[in-house]
Chains A and B, each alone.
Chain A
Amino acid sequence: MDNAIQARDLVKTFGETRALDGVDLTTRPGEVHGFLGPNGAGKSTTIRILLGLLRKDAGAVTVLGMHPWNEAVELHRRLAYVPGDVHLWPNLSGGEAIDLLASLRGGMDRQRRDDLVERFQLDPTKRCSTYSKGNRQKVGVIAAFASPQVELYLLDEPTSGLDPLMESVFQEVVEEVRRQGASVLLSSHILAEAEKLCDRVSIIRDGRIVESGTLAELRHLTRTSVTVETEHPVTGLVDLEGVHDASADGTHARFEVEAEGLDAALRHLTGFGVRALTSTPPTLEELFMRHYGGASPTADGGIR
Chain B
Amino acid sequence: MTTLTGTRRLVRLALRRDRVVLPVWIVGLTGLLAAVVTSVLGLYASDRERSEAATFAANDTVTRAFNGPVAGSDPGSLVMSEAFVFVGVLVALMCAQAVVRHTRTEEETGRAELIGAGVVGRHARLTAALAVAFGAALLVGAAAGVVLTASGLPTRGSLLAGAAYAGVGVVFGGVAAVTAQVAEQARAANAWAGGVLGLAFLVRAIGDAAGHVASSGDAVVSAWPSWVSPLGWGQQVRPFAAGHLGPFALTVAAAALLAGIAYVLTDHRDVGQGMRSVRPGPARADTGLLRPLGLAWRQQRGVLLGWLVAMAILGAAFGAVGESTEDISEMSEQFAALLEQFGGGSLVDGYFAFLMRLVAILTAGYTVQALLRLRSEEAAGRLEPLLATAVARPRWLLAQVVLAAAGTAAVLLLAGAAAGVAYGLATGDLAGGVGGPLSAAAVQVPAALALGGGVVLVFGLQPRWTAPVAWGGLAFAFVVGQFGGVLDLPQAVINLSPFVHPPLLPAADLDVTPVVVLLLVAVALAAVGVAAFRRRDLVTAA
Query: Which residues of A does B touch, CB under 8 Å?
Result: 48, 51, 53-55, 72-74, 76-77, 79, 81, 83, 85-93, 95-96, 98-101, 103-106, 124-127, 129-130, 140, 143, 154, 301, 304
Q: Least Cβ distance of A55 to chain B in Å?
A: 6
List B residues 180-222 near A (Cβ within 8 Å): 184-185
Instruction: Tell me whether A129 and B185 are in contact (CB under 8 A).
Output: yes
Contacts of B281 in A (CB 8 A): 92-93, 95-96, 125-127
Is the CB–CB distance between B538 and A104 below 8 Å? no
Q: List residues of B (458-510) whose CB comes within 8 Å of A's CBs.
A: none
By the criterion CB–CB under 8 Å, are A126 and B282 in contact? no
Which residues on A sit within 8 Å (CB–CB) of B284? 95-96, 99, 124
Instruction: Check B253 for interface membership: any CB of A closer than 8 A.
Output: no
B377-416 with Cβ < 8 A to chain A: 380-382, 384-393
Cβ-defined contact, B389 with A105, below 8 A: yes
Q: Which chain B positions have C-beta within 8 A of A301?
A: 542
Q: With A87-B380, A92-B281, A95-B284 in contact, do A76 and B299 touch (Cβ < 8 Å)?
A: no
The answer to whether A140 and B385 have CB atoms under 8 Å apart is yes
The distance from the CB of B373 to the nearest CB of chain A, in whole angstroms, is 11
Q: Are B282 and A73 in contact (CB under 8 A)?
A: no
Judged by a CB distance under 8 angstroms, whether B295 is at the interface is: yes
Check: B285 CB closer than 8 A to any chain A CB: yes
Inter-subunit contact A304/B390 (CB<8 Å): no
B386-A101 in contact (CB<8A): yes
Contact B289 A100 (CB under 8 A): yes
Which B residue's beta carbon lies closest to that of A154? Answer: B388
Chain B positions 528 through 539: 1 when the CB is less than 8 Å from some CB of chain A, otherwise 0: 000000011111
Q: Report the interface size for chain B: residues with CB under 8 A from the other chain.
A: 39
Could you tell me the distance between the alpha carbons of A103 and B389 in the complex, rounded to whole angstroms? Answer: 9
B280 at the interface (CB under 8 A from A): yes
- Partner of B387 from the list A53, A55, A127 (CB cut-off 8 Å) is A53
Contact present for A129 and B389 (CB under 8 Å): no
CB of B384 within 8 A of CB of A55, answer no
A81 and B385 in contact (CB under 8 A), knowing A54-B537, A89-B299?
yes
Q: Residue of A at shortest CB range from B294?
A: A100
Per the bound structure, the CA–CA distance linking A14 and B393 in Å amounts to 22
Closest to B541 in A: A304
A100 and B388 within 8 A (CB): no
Closest Cβ of chain B to A150, distance in Å, is 11
Cβ of B12 within 8 Å of any chain A Cβ, yes or no, is no
B302 contacts across to A, CB distance below 8 A = 91
- Which of B280, B386, B390, B542 neighbours the largest number of chain A CB atoms within 10 Å of its CB? B390
Chain B residues positioned under 8 Å from A106 (CB to CB): 389-390
Point out which of B280, B387, B388, B536 has the most chain A C-beta atoms below 10 A from its C-beta.
B388
Check A55 against B537 for contact (C-beta < 8 Å).
yes
A-B contacts besides A76-B391, A87-B384, A92-B281, 19 pairs, CB < 8 Å: A53-B384, A53-B388, A74-B390, A83-B384, A83-B385, A92-B289, A93-B280, A96-B285, A96-B286, A99-B284, A101-B389, A104-B292, A104-B391, A125-B282, A127-B280, A129-B184, A129-B185, A130-B278, A304-B542
- Cα–Cα, bound, A55→B536 (Å): 7
- Report the Cα distance A101→B391, complex, angstroms: 10
**Given that A81-B385, A81-B388 are known contacts, is A124 also in contact with B538, CB under 8 Å in the complex?**
no
**B290 interface residue (CB < 8 Å to A):** yes
Q: Name the distance in Å between A163's Cβ and chain B's nearest Cβ.
A: 19
Task: Tell me whether B1 is interfacial, beta carbon within 8 Å.
Answer: no
- A95 close to B538 (CB less than 8 A): no
A77-B390, A93-B282 known; A100-B295 Cβ under 8 A: yes
Q: Which residues, 255 to 309 on B, are CB-close (under 8 Å) to A?
A: 278-286, 289-292, 295, 298-299, 302
A54 lies within 8 A of B283 (CB): no
